[in-house]
Amino acid sequence: MCVRIPAGSRCNTMHDALSLKDRLDQILEVEYTFRSTATPVAAIGELPLAERRYAIDWVERVASTNIELGYQYACRVSEALAGMDQHQVEAWALHAMDTYDREGLRPALEVIRRLDRFARERHERASGCVLEEKRGILHGFLQGLSGRRLKLEESDQIYTDTETLYLPPVLARLPDENDNFILYKVMMVTLWAQIRYGTFRCPLTEILAKQPDPERFLHLFQALEALRLEALIERELPGLHREMERIRGLPGEAEPAGEWHALRRRLARPGTRVTEAVRLAEEQQQRLEPGQPPPWQGVLQPELVEACMAARLEREKAKFRVTLKLLEDEHEPGRPPGEREKAGGSRFSKRELPAPELPEGMRTEILLDGKPMPLPEEVKGLISSIIVDLGEIPDAYLEPAGPGAYDPALFQDEVTDPDDVWSGVYHEEGAHLYREWDYRRQHYRKNWCAVREKSVTPVYDGFVEETLERYVGLVKHLRRIFEAMRDENRLLKRQNHGDNVDLDALVEALADARDGREMSERLFTRMHRTERNIAVIFMVDMSGSTKGWINDAERESLVLLCESLETLGDRYAIYGFSSITRKRCELYHIKHFDEPYAAEVKARISGIRPHDYTRMGFAIRHLTRVLSEVDARTRVLITLSDGKPDDYDSYRGDYGIEDTRRALIEARREGVHPYCITIDEQARDYLPRLYGPAAYTVIDDVRILPLKVSDIYRRLTT
C-alpha cells in the first residue's frame, strides 16, 4: 500500500498548506517506518521558501526510488544547497539514484554520504574533459587507426590488455578543457601503438622474473619503449605528434635529461623492435633513472596482457581454421572429401605483397588452389588481428579444421540461447539495455531494461490454412482493397509528354489553333506511380492477459493481415512482446523484414502464445531501432494490444503510461509513425495521451484489423 500523493497534486499551495513536517512524514512514510524526520525538518526549515520547495520536490523524487535514500538525501540536501548550485545538487541526486539502479542501496547511500567527494569530482568535470561525453569521437578516431578493432572502457588506471583500452572517466590534469581532450587522444594512440607496434611481442613476465629489481626494470623499460613508439607515432601521425610535443611542455613536466637524447635517437631508428628496448633496459638498469613520465603515460600490465593474448591466440587460430574450412566447402561443394585428402596438403596458401604503408611492411592474401580469394569483412578483421600478434599468418593456420577439431565454445563469443542467461546467475550478457522514463523522478533510469530477442517456436498445425478457409470471403474482400491501394496512382493532366492524349486539353488547343492562337503543347495525361516505400513493424501483445479468445483472434487477424500485405508488396515485420520485470524484457521475432511469408513464418504465427506482462517502452524503443536501420521513406510501428502497459515491478498506472508516452515521443523524433490498435474498451482514457487523437483505434472485432491497417496506410501515402 502506498499513500504517496499523486504527481498531479504536487502544487505549490500544497507545501504551504501542510506543515513541512507533515509533508516529509508523508513522503518518507513515517507511519510505517518509524523514522524521525526531526533532523531533515530542522535543516530544510532553515532554507528560504523557494529553496524549501525545491528541496521537498527532490526529496520526493529520490524517495520514489527508495525511502531510505530519500531520507538520507533529506538530511543533507540543505548542506548541499549551501555548497553547490541547484543544477549540481540535482546532478548529485540523480547520480545517487543511478547508482541505486545500478549497484543497489549501499553504494547509493555512499554517494549521499560522500557529498564532498561528489562536489570535488563535479568540479573536475566542469573544468576537465569527460570520457563519456567524448566517447563517440574518441571511439570513431580509434576505429580509424589500422589493426585490431579495439574497445574503450573507463578505469582509474591507464592501460591496455591488447583488446580494450582503459582510460580514466575524467581528465582534468591540464588547465584547458581542449588540451584534456587532446590528452585522451594521445593516451589512446600510445596504447594503440603498444599493440600495433609490437610492445607485447616479447615475453615480458619471463624477462621481468630474471631482473634483480623487476619493478624498477619495468619502469625503465616502459620509458625506453615509449621513446621507440613515439618515434613511430611521429612518422605515422605527425599532426598528433606535434600536439604531444605541445602538451608535454605544459606545467609540471620537466625536460628529459641529456643522456636520454642519445637513447631516443637510437630507439627512433626505423625498424627498431621491442627487443632493443628490452636490451637497453637491461644494460642501463643499474645507472639510469626513468625520470618524469609524460602526462599520458599509463602502466604496463604484463600478466593481464599475456593472459588475454594466450586466450586470443588459441581462439583466433581455431576461428581462422574453421572459417577456412567453411570457405573451402563453399567454393567446392561438390568435391568429395576423400579426393581432397588424397591430393595431400592444404589447398590454401598465402601470398605476401609488399605494403610499405603498413607496420608489417606487407599485406597478406589468402589463396585457394593458388588463386586469390575474396574474403568476407570479418575474416579480414581476423587476419589483421592475428598479424598484429604474430607479424604474419603462420603456415599452421592455413590448414582448414575439420569437424570436431575444436570445441565450438572456443570461438563463439556470444550467448546464443537467451534462455541460458537465466539458468545461471543473473547477468546482462547478450541483452540490449534500454533506458526507461521514471515520471516521479522526471528522469530516465539508465540501462534499465534488459531486452532480448527470441523467436516464437513454430507450430506446424495448419492453423493458417484453417483460418484462410474459415474466412474465404473476407480474405477476397481484403485482397481487393489492398490491390486497389497498390494501384492508387494519380493521373496527371496537361503534361508535355505522357501515355495518353488529354482530350480536354486537345479540344482547347484545336480551338486555339483555329482561332489563330498558339497551340499548347501540354496535351498528354501521364500516370504518376507513387512507388511505395514503406516499412511497417507490427508489435503484438503477447502478455498473459491475451490468453483465450484474444490470442486466437490475434493470430487469426495476423494471418488476414499478412495475406493482405502480401498483395501490397510492402515490407513488413512482426514481433511479439512480453516481459516479467525489467530484467526480462522479451521481443519474440515472428517475421523479419527480409523473411518471406512462408511456412516457417506461418508456423510462428500459429505458435504465438500468451506469456507474462505488458511492459511497452522497451518494445517501442527496440523496434524503433530496428525500423531506423531499414532503408525506407516511411516507417510505421503499429502496436496491437489488449490493454494498458503493465508489469510486475511497479510498471503500472501512471508510471507505465508515462514511460510508454516517452518511448513514443522518442520514436516520433526518429521519424517513426506510431499507431495503436486495441480492443481495450477503457483505452479511450489513456490512448489519446499516448498516441494523439488520430493515431489509435479501438476495435471490438479483431478481424477487422486489416481494414484498420489499410486506413493507416492510406493516410500515410496520400
Partner 1 sequence: MNARILKLDEYLVDEEPFYQATSDEIAIFEAAYVNGLPLLLKGPTGCGKTRFMEYMAWRLKRPLITVSCHDDLTASDLVGRYLVKGGETVWVDGPLTQAVRSGGICYLDEIVEARKDTMVVIHPLADDRRVLPIEKLGSMIEATPEFCLTISYNPGYQSVLKDLKQSTRQRFVALEFDYPGVGLETAIVSRESGIDSETAAKLIKFAGMTRNLKGSGLEEGASTRLLVHAGKLIVSGITPVSACRGAIAQALTDDPDMLAAVNELSSSIF
The type of residue at 334 is G
Does 489 contact partner 1 by CB under 8 A? no
Helix ranges (H only) for 145-295 are 177-196, 204-209, 214-236, 238-248, 258-267, 274-284
Whose grid coordinates read 587460430? 317
Please count the residues of the chain. Answer: 718
Residue 384: is it exposed, middle or buried by C-beta count within 10 angstroms (0-12/13-18/19+)?
Answer: middle
Contacts of residue 438, defined as CB under 8 A and 6 or more positions apart, other chains included, come to 64, 65, 444, 445, 655, 659
Q: Which is nearer to partner 1, 343 or 513 (CB)?
A: 513
Give me the amino acid identity at 346.
S
Candidate residues 6, 136, 252, 424; the one interacting with partner 1 per rule CB under 8 A: 136
Question: Which is closer to partner 1, CB of 269 or CB of 529?
Answer: 529
Instruction: State the minimum distance, in angstroms, from the CB of residue 520 to partner 1.
Output: 8
Burial of residue 414 (CB within 10 Å: 0-12, 13-18, 19+) is exposed
Task: Look up residue 546 and give its DSSP letter.
Answer: G
Regarding 513 and contact with partner 1 (CB under 8 A), the answer is: yes
- Dihedrals φ, ψ of 693, to 5°? -60, -30
Element holding 444 (H helix, E strand): strand 443-455
Site for partner 1 in 9-68 (CB under 8 A): none
How many residues make contact with partner 1 (CB under 8 A)?
A: 37
450 neighbors 585 (Cβ within 8 angstroms): yes
Residue 248 makes contact with partner 1 by CB under 8 A: no
- Closer CB to partner 1, 357 or 515, in the complex: 357
Q: What is the x/- site pattern for partner 1, positions 611-630, by CB under 8 A?
A: -------------------x
The answer to whether 154 touches 104, Cβ cutoff 8 Å, is no
Shortest distance in whole angstroms from residue 25 CB to partner 1: 48
Judged by CB under 8 A, does residue 264 bind partner 1? no
Which CB sits closer to partner 1, 289 or 521?
521
| Residue 245 interacting with partner 1 (CB under 8 A) | no
Interface of this chain with partner 1, residues 273 to 332, rule: CB under 8 A = none
Interaction between residue 238 and partner 1 (CB under 8 A): yes
Cα 274 to Cα 197: distance, rounded to the nearest angstrom: 8
Assign 166 to helix, strand or coil. strand
What is the nearest approach in angstroms of partner 1 to the Cβ of residue 450? 24
Residue 490 lies near partner 1 (rule: CB under 8 A): no
Q: Is 515 in the site for partner 1 (CB under 8 A)?
A: no
Least distance from partner 1 to the Cβ atom of residue 530, Å: 11
Query: Nearer Cβ to partner 1, position 407 or 594?
Result: 594
Q: Which of 156, 339, 357, 414 binds partner 1 (CB under 8 A)?
A: 357
Pick one of 523, 636, 677, 705: the residue that binds partner 1 (CB under 8 A): 523
Least spacing, CB of residue 590 vs partner 1, in Å: 18
**Pick 212 or 238: Cβ nearer partner 1:** 238
669 binds partner 1 (CB under 8 A): no
Q: Which of 189, 274, 683, 705 contacts partner 1 by CB under 8 A?
A: 189
Give the per-residue SS3 of 622-687: HHHHHHHCCCCCEEEEEEEECCCCECCCCCCHHHHHHHHHHHHHHHHHCCEEEEEEECCHHHHHCH
Determine whether 186 is exposed, middle or buried from the number of CB atoms within 10 Å of its CB (0-12, 13-18, 19+): buried
Concatenated DSSP letters of 603-619 = HHHHT----SBB--HHH
Interface residue with partner 1 among 7, 67, 119, 145 (CB under 8 A) is 145
* Among 14, 17, 137, 503, contact with partner 1 (rule: CB under 8 A): 137
Looking at the chain, the number of H-run helices and the number of E-run strands are 29, 19
500 binds partner 1 (CB under 8 A): no
Amino acid at site 429: E
Quick check: 597 binds partner 1 (CB under 8 A)?
no
* Contact stretch for partner 1 (CB under 8 A) within 251-259, 523-531, 552-560, 609-617: 523-531
Residues 360-389 that bind partner 1 (CB under 8 A): 377
Cα 224 to Cα 8, 230, 403: the distances in Å are 66, 10, 47
Does the protein bind partner 1 through residue 7 (CB under 8 A)? no
Q: Please identify which residue in 312, 321, 445, 571 interacts with partner 1, judged by CB under 8 A.
A: 571
Which of 239, 258, 333, 473 lies at the binding interface for partner 1 (CB under 8 A)?
A: 239
Say if strands 585-591 and 571-579 run parallel, antiparallel, or are unpaired.
antiparallel
In the bound complex, what is the minimum distance in angstroms from residue 265's beta carbon to partner 1?
24
Of the listed pieces 121-129, 133-141, 224-232, 696-704, which binds partner 1 according to CB under 8 A? 133-141
x/- site string to partner 1, residues 150 to 179, per CB under 8 A? ------------------------------
594 touches partner 1 (CB under 8 A) = yes
Structure-block grid coordinates of residue 427: 547477468
> Phi/psi at 69 (nearest 5 deg)?
-60, -45
Using the rule CB under 8 A, which residue among 143, 205, 275, 650 binds partner 1? 143
- Where do the H-state alpha helices sit in 84-196? 86-103, 105-113, 115-127, 131-144, 177-196
185 belongs to the binding site for partner 1 (CB under 8 A)? yes
Minimum CB distance to partner 1 smaller for 135 or for 432: 135
Residue 536 in the binding site for partner 1 (CB under 8 A): no
CA distance 593 to 603: 17
**Alpha helical stretches, state H, 362-471:** 377-390, 420-423, 463-470
Which residues of this chain interact with partner 1, rule CB under 8 A?
136-141, 143-146, 149, 185, 189, 237-240, 243, 355, 357, 377, 496-497, 513, 519, 521, 523-524, 529, 531, 533, 571, 593-594, 630-632
